[in-house]
Structure 1
């Protein structure tokens, strides 16, 4: 396989030997590199060219038989000559007479004399009449002195004839007759064979597997074998035997586990034949590992002196088994696996313990000592320090070897103290809980009862609380909590079971009631051991969860934010007493627009230590995703939410748990924003969140995502049903509507889209009040955008400009893209194409950076309408051709109203409604209501259709001297724009005006500087 360059070289040399002196070539390389195959292939091609070819093979079995190689040579000459040839008979007779005499001692020319030389010349002259003579000798380093001397005489006697000699020699192997071999190959050209290339390796692997291998498989094979063909063939044979039942190809990582006895046999046999010390040294290097080892350690493991070790190492280097540097490392990982796998278990254990002892005595890094400890299966004694044992446990856990990790941790717990003892105890609890949740929890509770270390007690409680989220049975959960209450009675965390019981029902009872129960817990003093200021860890965790409850229900967001900040200011161990605590406090900050502060606090945490990512860290992933969404990084948010769902499943958290439902809804919302509606729908269906939902209020985010999906598909009545259910759940639980970011971005706009304009206007104004109290410019920008979409008309444009100014200053790219995309249709309809093009171009660029593909498509469609040079989109151009009445009737029809209801509401006849709809259908290029889902798949249609659409009339405000935004502006902490508004209301000459028949917030009250764009 391959070797085309070497074959071309030998063929050229054979051709040139006709006119030149005899050609001599030495093919060198490591064992199994393909020297024999190259000689055989060259011999075959030479015979096809009419050459006489004599193949000589030096094997170990024939090495000690006198005259064996000479017999092959003379027999080869006879085979190439015609039967009964006079020259052949003469050479055979002379050789027979010579071989029956005494064996010469290195004096072949003197013994044989001119008679044999003349006979050889006659034979070679007969053989080279038409083509050169080719003599190949495989493994020439094994040939005896007599045979090599005779062969040299043959070549020298035929120096005037076209003779080509090709000999193969293994790298680094001492020759049986070094001087005779050197004389034979004096002046020979060297052909060194290396490993196969990537393409050659892939071709060899494909040719020997029943099915094509996967991506990276051939590269993994080449990495393990360094391209050695013999090792590659053995590895592929192992693959075939491994996957014979499945008929597939294993993962490339599985190749690292291959132990091939054939490879070990070839290597050890050759090494032991040459030098037994080299065999022991190769095994010692294999025991040292992939990272290599220093020479003194290898000498210690091999049981040889430093000088002998260097001599044997030089042999391994020359043979191509070891890299030529100060750190001894086997070039082929497959050889290392084969040598280690060929040792007995006791031999491996002894070698690894010897290596660990040697390294520990010389103060080597703990990682190196630990690597050898975990490779040994024997029980550990008391001589190992705790740091080494802990490092060994980490390495074993990284390799999923929990038995070895547990063995090291149990021993470390006996010899360690202080923080190392804590790590060992907690690591044991983690492994046992992961292996068997029920038994692990019982063991952790038993450890709780026996420990006096407050830090261990707090961290064990965190593990018990996290593990309880994977317990499905309420009875089993109650049993563990009762046992924990007994274990922690009389300590500073005596009320921990009570906190867990309260927080467990956070999502299936009213958050206001949960908040009251938590306040009672915070006010109680569980034990005189608590801190003097009354802010012990239990109170900190309870306060963080209570802040979330207050955030969900209280109209004053600053109160919840203050409580969350106080909890986050406490040490991290206190928040870890409950897995929800840290995520709850950070959620309060994020939902109130304090994203940068929340991002800065995400990293304030201790290391996970010996265990994988704990549950409280998993629950922070949705918080990080919300921060990424606020920054407009949809791809990052999607990755974090997907990872959260995987990690929650690993922790045993059920599909219907609040944590998984929240992550699921957030991920679906991100997918919708990226334009992957089908994937979002499949996700919701897979988690059984598409049909009827359980009554708990934490499904409200699922309802929001479903409403967005249905609206995108043109099913506005279905979206209206989900929004109505969402509103009912919020009202029943006493929750604020504008509490989630998804609602604040899309909620009021969706309500307006499905026809609930009154409610949309009311909730948009509530959202604006929330944004002012939260003090976040980004939330104010979102609220102004929502209010502008609900209001429409010139005031909607002014509100959008104010929102765009706030969002641009805040750097909120995705929200700004939504805002500018909403502003574009308004400018287009008001015949301001240049400004619309600029705004929409900016929106497309921002949406593209954020990965919001539907928003990009919507902007492009609207841009095509605004730019006279761009191609026209027929259905969107039809929207611009609709009359006001046609638009109004079409919107009502899309919202699910029948023709009769539309006629009644507008006080016109049904026939008039049908005529207007027929005209609208013709302009839009559709045939009827059944085409609504397809029509609404154009992202740019709905905002263009509803731009300037009339809003249901509202009653005029009771107080004509007050801004129609409710409630009135607060008397303290007024922004400059509000102060200007108050002054204008007192001075009619200021020209401050309100349109009472079209309620909207006065745009000039909302910013700190005048609004641009003709406001």
Structure 2
């Protein structure tokens, strides 16, 4: 057995250099003796091309006598038909032979030996001797044939080349066996090609010959370098490797298919144009019939079975194929066996698949559309009857004909499964196909509701239409409530607040007597939405004050009601009650699958207003994960928008920016622009992050792009926009505009009962602007009011923020003490940016008061905390003040590895390597006390106690954030 590896690409026969070299060595091997060589390969593998190339090369060798036969199936019943083709023309030794190009595809399928060779012995066996009728006559003919071959081989080495050996007649196969068994000493090379086809009438005779071939070569798919060369030849330019690799995969490297694909690509696209479809779809339309014709002889029903495999796709089982094409399982098994032996199919267990995509495409295009639909319907029926998973059945219902009574139910189950797996596009496809069937109204209503949920991820306006049609058809109270809430959510995303309120109000009233629980659940969402709009907020607030958590008729309503009531408590300044209710509301997360609703984010916002920002962030992050698992775009956008706000409040400005940008991009993808209220919240959060980072120009550009620079509507979210816009105007030095925004924010918040400092500290911000404008009385009045409200609110964050404003407004020694109190109140809270601001303000006032040590310590800490958050303006202020007290800061932070001086960094690195203080001093040529001083300073900056924490601290710093 010869082990071959495909290497260089020859000029004519791509990818078969190794085989050609191996065959050349066998043809010209020194010494006598018979050399039998069998060339194996499936159809399309290039066996015939390889044999013709070998034949052409052999004829050019004057030391060889070459005979050849290309066996025709028509000669199977003709005794010695293959032998006749090899030798019958040699009797006319004086007849001239017309010249034929060595590599021409038109080489006649007859003997083409050099008849004029004077050393060739004449063929003297008369043709009638080959027409043997009895066993004795055949044996005599075999003996005479052997002697004739021996006579020929006595003059020159004889080379016998046979293509399609599997088609040879039995008498010729017995002759070949006779020759190989007895001609061991004859200088004869027999090179035969065998196609791996199915059973034939001469299988037994063939099986007796094959073991006698000592040398066997198997042709596989072309190697990558051969594909590269062939693609260059056919396309006329050097294509990218990624392209040729895709061609090889699509054709399994089979030369026949590969050439067809490449020629199809050349015919259908310009040389400088890219592909517009998967590579297999460039298969020429006329290839399929030719392939099926070649499959017909492989086995009974081979072509029919291959067509069914191609149409059904994937790897159908033999049982499914039998049910689909109307054959017995054994008939399909025989057909599959022939396909597998020929190399055009593979089988794993009972599952069958064609070897490559281009073959499947070519074969499937030969099947009429009506036949394809019939095959898919039969497959769906068989799978459904066997209890197969809904998604397997649905895959065949999609392209199948309409009319199966059970189809809508199966398609709906498949859609739900795809939805759970996050494949929303696939789920929507199943539902749309189900809606084409003749389904009952209730079933159609459920399908439309599911379609609406799915369409929210692609096109919100389209989802509104699906929800509306579902609500019209739906009769079940519970399902009506769910559909109404889904429709209201979609309308809200489009800023259609009145329509959303009307849907909820109408449906709620229609269900109040029949289903009080669902009615209250709808009312909860109704109140939540009404609160966000100034016109409807007063009535909503009155109704909200009447509710109690015990009013919930069941636990399914208790949690959303608790979320709404937590907001009420936060609005009233009762932080403790707000936190308790929020925990009840969020016991299953902020985005539970059983009751997805934006009302749960009221509880998250209440937690932040109550100073529990870190806990609020935990719930927001969990909601992001829940929405991601369900592939809910709107749910994910809402979750990351809320998370962005929490991150901004914690001073994680870059993380907040990333979330806000992601939310806006996803909203844009489903048709919601930056001016919609769903996008405005993320836009305002992003603006706040940019302003705190000292990037006002980018924030202004965002403001203009979202059309938020002018008058704003009464939506609740715009209170937040006014707060952020006011801070932007302060950063731009437009103080009058800033003051107007802060005061308007307060006016609007007061109208809906959210004027407490836990939501928007507008009084503190307005007081600081009044101070800058030298309007001291107005500034003090606002600052005092804010501080009183903050103490009543009771959370350190709101108290510290109000103390900072009061200290800056007051100034002097009293103001300095108020700022000191603000620093200590904010220390340890999640409000890192506000803490850094208070530190910097205290440092500035302390420097002006001549209290330089206190100023220096606070300014260094302010710079470090602000740098950690990314709050560049605060860092710049603190560093400028440090320079004013005579310091020369080398870095922008005084904490962490970034604060280490070059010498401290070198000393700590040597310490991490295990060197003692004395060894470090010797290495750096410094004193022992100097090393100790550098290490002590480094420990303080890295917030560690000693050497044991050095390695971890430095490693963490090198990894970055």
Q: How does 1:473-492 map to 2 (within 5 A)?
A: none
Structure 2 unaligned regions, length at least 5: 9-14, 91-95, 103-111, 896-961
Which residue of 597, 603, 606 maps to 1:588? 606
Q: Are residue 408 (structure 1) and residue 437 (structure 2) matched?
A: no
Deviation at 1:456, TM superposition (A): 1.2
**Alpha carbons 2:6, 2:18 under 8 Å: kept:** no
| Corresponding residue of 2:385 | 361
| Corresponding residue of 2:213 | 187
| Corresponding residue of 1:326 | 349
Which residue of 61, 70, 75 maps to 2:86? 70
Q: Deviations over 1:357-393 (max 9, x none)?
A: 22333333333233322331322225x6835643267
Deviation at 1:773, TM superposition (A): 6.5
Q: Deviations over 1:550-591 (max 9, x none)?
A: 75x655555655665666679999999996423333333244
**Alpha carbons 2:590, 2:622 under 8 Å: kept:** no
SS of 1:88's equivalent? coil
**Alpha carbons 1:117, 1:154 under 8 Å: kept:** no
Which residue of 7, 18, 21 maps to 1:11? 21
| Corresponding residue of 1:910 | none
Residues in 1 aligned to 2:616 and 2:588: alpha-carbon distance in whole angstroms: 15
Q: Are residue 518 (structure 1) and residue 529 (structure 2) matched?
A: no
Q: Are residue 88 (structure 1) and residue 121 (structure 2) matched?
A: no
Residues in 2 aligned to 1:705 and 1:48: alpha-carbon distance in whole angstroms: 89
Residues in 1 aligned to 2:365 and 2:213: alpha-carbon distance in whole angstroms: 43
SS of 2:296's equivalent? helix
Residues 38/573 of structure 1: CA separation in 2 closer, same or farther (3 Å cut): same
Q: Deviations over 1:875-917 (max 9, x none)?
A: x8x9866578xx9xxxxxxxxxxxxxxxxxxxxxxxxxxxxxx
Residues in 2 aligned to 1:164 and 1:151: alpha-carbon distance in whole angstroms: 12
Deviation at 1:518, TM superposition (A): 0.4
Q: TM-score, normalised by structure 2?
A: 0.66
**Alpha carbons 1:669, 1:705 under 8 Å: kept:** yes
Residues 429/577 of structure 1: CA separation in 2 closer, same or farther (3 Å cut): same
Residues in 1 aligned to 2:54 and 2:658: alpha-carbon distance in whole angstroms: 57
SS of 1:342's equivalent? coil
Q: Are residue 122 (structure 1) and residue 155 (structure 2) matched?
A: yes
Residues 379/823 of structure 1: CA separation in 2 closer, same or farther (3 Å cut): farther
Q: Deviations over 1:17-52 (max 9, x none)?
A: 432456554343333344455556667788899997
Residues 372/574 of structure 1: CA separation in 2 closer, same or farther (3 Å cut): closer
Which residue of 739, 749, 759 maps to 1:734? 749
Residues 203/596 of structure 1: CA separation in 2 closer, same or farther (3 Å cut): farther
Residues in 2 aligned to 1:137 and 1:827: alpha-carbon distance in whole angstroms: 103
SS of 2:828's equivalent? helix
Q: Are residue 250 (structure 1) and residue 279 (structure 2) matched?
A: no
Q: Are residue 303 (structure 1) and residue 326 (structure 2) matched?
A: yes
| Corresponding residue of 1:280 | 304
Residues 347/639 of structure 1: CA separation in 2 closer, same or farther (3 Å cut): farther
Residues 249/814 of structure 1: CA separation in 2 closer, same or farther (3 Å cut): farther
Residues in 2 aligned to 1:377 and 1:620: alpha-carbon distance in whole angstroms: 42
Residues in 2 aligned to 1:676 and 1:389: alpha-carbon distance in whole angstroms: 50
Deviation at 1:661, TM superposition (A): 1.5
Residues 314/839 of structure 1: CA separation in 2 closer, same or farther (3 Å cut): farther
Deviation at 1:76, TM superposition (A): 9.0
Residues in 2 aligned to 1:23 and 1:599: alpha-carbon distance in whole angstroms: 78
SS of 1:587's equivalent? helix
| Corresponding residue of 1:871 | none
Residues 187/59 of structure 1: CA separation in 2 closer, same or farther (3 Å cut): closer
Residues in 2 aligned to 1:757 and 1:60: alpha-carbon distance in whole angstroms: 108
**Alpha carbons 1:444, 1:464 under 8 Å: kept:** yes
Q: Are residue 58 (structure 1) and residue 87 (structure 2) matched?
A: no
Residues 680/14 of structure 1: CA separation in 2 closer, same or farther (3 Å cut): farther
**Alpha carbons 2:837, 2:874 under 8 Å: kept:** no
| Corresponding residue of 2:936 | none
**Alpha carbons 2:308, 2:325 under 8 Å: kept:** yes
Deviation at 1:940, TM superposition (A): 4.2
Residues in 2 aligned to 1:114 and 1:749: alpha-carbon distance in whole angstroms: 120
**Alpha carbons 1:259, 1:341 under 8 Å: kept:** no
**Alpha carbons 2:839, 2:862 under 8 Å: kept:** yes
Residues in 1 aligned to 2:843 and 2:589: alpha-carbon distance in whole angstroms: 49
**Alpha carbons 2:620, 2:642 under 8 Å: kept:** no
Residues in 2 aligned to 1:800 and 1:524: alpha-carbon distance in whole angstroms: 38
Deviation at 1:428, TM superposition (A): 5.5
Q: TM-score, normalised by structure 1?
A: 0.63
SS of 2:346's equivalent? coil
Q: Are residue 655 (structure 1) and residue 671 (structure 2) matched?
A: no
Q: Deviations over 1:463-522 (max 9, x none)?
A: 22133236578998899789879977977588999998986676663xxx6542203344
| Corresponding residue of 1:373 | 397
| Corresponding residue of 1:895 | none
Residues 140/429 of structure 1: CA separation in 2 closer, same or farther (3 Å cut): same
SS of 2:155's equivalent? helix
Residues in 2 aligned to 1:825 and 1:50: alpha-carbon distance in whole angstroms: 104
Q: How does 1:16-415 map to 2 (within 5 A)?
A: 17-20=28-31, 21=33, 23-36=35-48, 38-39=50-51, 58=70, 69-70=85-86, 87-88=116-117, 94=123, 98=126, 103=131, 109-112=142-145, 114-115=147-148, 117-119=150-152, 121-122=154-155, 124=157, 137-143=162-168, 166-174=191-199, 179=205, 183=209, 186-196=212-222, 220-239=246-265, 247-250=273-276, 254=278, 261=285, 264-290=288-314, 292-330=315-353, 331-382=355-406, 386=409, 389-391=412-414, 398=424, 405-409=431-435, 414=440
**Alpha carbons 1:70, 1:147 under 8 Å: kept:** no
SS of 2:348's equivalent? coil
Using the TM superposition, name which of 654-663 and 783-792 deviates more. Answer: 783-792
Residues in 2 aligned to 1:86 and 1:386: alpha-carbon distance in whole angstroms: 77
Q: How does 1:820-859 map to 2 (within 5 A)?
A: 847=868
Residues in 2 aligned to 1:687 and 1:813: alpha-carbon distance in whole angstroms: 29
Deviation at 1:77, TM superposition (A): 11
Using the TM superposition, name which of 468-477 and 16-25 deviates more. Answer: 468-477
SS of 1:323's equivalent? strand
Deviation at 1:660, TM superposition (A): 0.8
| Corresponding residue of 1:911 | none
Deviation at 1:209, TM superposition (A): 6.0
Note the aligned Cα RMSD (angstroms). 6.5
Q: How does 1:864-1013 map to 2 (within 5 A)?
A: 940=892
Residues 688/225 of structure 1: CA separation in 2 closer, same or farther (3 Å cut): farther
Which residue of 484, 494, 508 maps to 1:461? 484
Deviation at 1:663, TM superposition (A): 1.5
Using the TM superposition, name which of 623-632 and 337-346 deviates more. Answer: 623-632
